[in-house]
Amino acid sequence: MQPNWQQRSPEIHARFLKIARAKGHLTSELDVLHFLALAICGEAGELANLVKKTWRGDDIDEKRIRDEIADIRIYLEHICRHLGIDLDDACEQKLEEVAARLNAKEQNTP
């Protein structure tokens, strides 16, 4: 069973698109894909900036970091849905590939 946020996310995304399209934006599927990709980059940049600030010793509210991570995950779920990709399956397959590479490296390590 999906977590509540994953159940609510498509409806909220659809509402966002409806508002954007009423203003003449995100009118094509390619526009939506570009927007989502850039949104992920923007949120990752915001997360990186907060991590940088903690690295230099600034006090950063943990909620701000959590919120940026959530933003990234939500946009990632949207882009996967848009492209017809099952994110859980993609992660399982990718981890299998990484594990195989690590196994090969470990066998070649004295």
Kindly list the distances between the CA atom of residue 67 and the CA atoms of 9, 44, 46, 58, in Å, as whole numbers in the listed order.
15, 11, 10, 18
pLDDT at 17: 95
Exposure pattern of 36-52 as b/e (b: 16+ CB <10 Å)?
beebbeebbebbeebee
pLDDT confidence tier of residue 58, bands split at 50, 70 and 90 = very high
CA distance 68 to 47: 6
Question: What is the pTM for the complete model shown?
Answer: 0.85
60-75 confidence digits (pLDDT tens):
999 999 999 999 999 9
Structural domains in the chain plus CATH codes? 4-85 (1.10.287)
pLDDT confidence tier of residue 97, bands split at 50, 70 and 90 = very high
7-16 confidence digits (pLDDT tens):
999 999 999 9
* CA dihedral of residues 98, 100, 104, 105 (deg, nearest 10): 20
